[in-house]
Amino acid sequence: TTTKLRVVFNASSRGPDGLSINDTLLSGPKLQQDLLAILLRFRAGAIALTAEVKQMFRQIWISPEQCNYQRIIWRFSESDPILDYLLKTVTFGFSASPFLAIYCLLQLAHQYREKYPLAFTALLEALYVDDVVTSVRTVEQARALRDQLLSLLRSAGFELRKWSSSHPAALEGLDP
């Protein structure tokens, strides 16, 4: 995890009418690859390369007309005024959040597939939630893939962190 404390909303909590927010949301189809397929491909190359998308959900803004579904009305005590908050990013605990986040990354990959072909393939085949888990044959391929992933995701405001590789040379030049 990126932070020690992570706020998660229980969108499955039922209201007086018996419905929860998650009951009313369209969750979207499963977009990510099967974990077993990702792990089998991960074992195929000689050089392992992994990274995490930092605070992935928090980097993705939702459309303004959807913000009201993430409105929080709160007061700290009965004597305090009521406060009104709008959550403007994809929120942990909502059933649609994984779909929205993965869709954004896959859409980004498709949009720039010609400029970043290695990153395109990695995001399509090696993305599991907010982790990229892949392998390649050579250190040069690992560096090229790493650089493409960094450039592609930075172009949309995402940061990759927690890099790991089976070959230290694949990570040379990365900021710690």
pLDDT at position 2, please? 56
What confidence category does residue 66 fall into, taking pLDDT thresholds of 50, 70 and 90? confident
| pTM listed for this prediction | 0.84
pLDDT at position 176, please? 61
List, in sequence order, every beta strand (DSSP E) within the chain.
47-53, 71-74, 83-86, 127-128, 131-136, 160-165
pLDDT at position 72, please? 86
For the chain, give every domain's residue range: 27-60+95-170
Mean pLDDT of 143-147: 97
Please name the CATH architecture into which domain 27-60+95-170 falls.
2-Layer Sandwich (3.30)
What confidence category does residue 74 fall into, taking pLDDT thresholds of 50, 70 and 90? confident
List, in sequence order, every beta strand (DSSP E) within 3-157.
47-53, 71-74, 83-86, 127-128, 131-136
Convert the pLDDT of each residue in 3-54 to its tens digit: 566 667 888 999 899 999 899 888 899 998 899 999 999 999 999 999 999 9
Mean pLDDT of 59-73: 88
| Bridge pairing between strands 127-128 and 131-136 | antiparallel
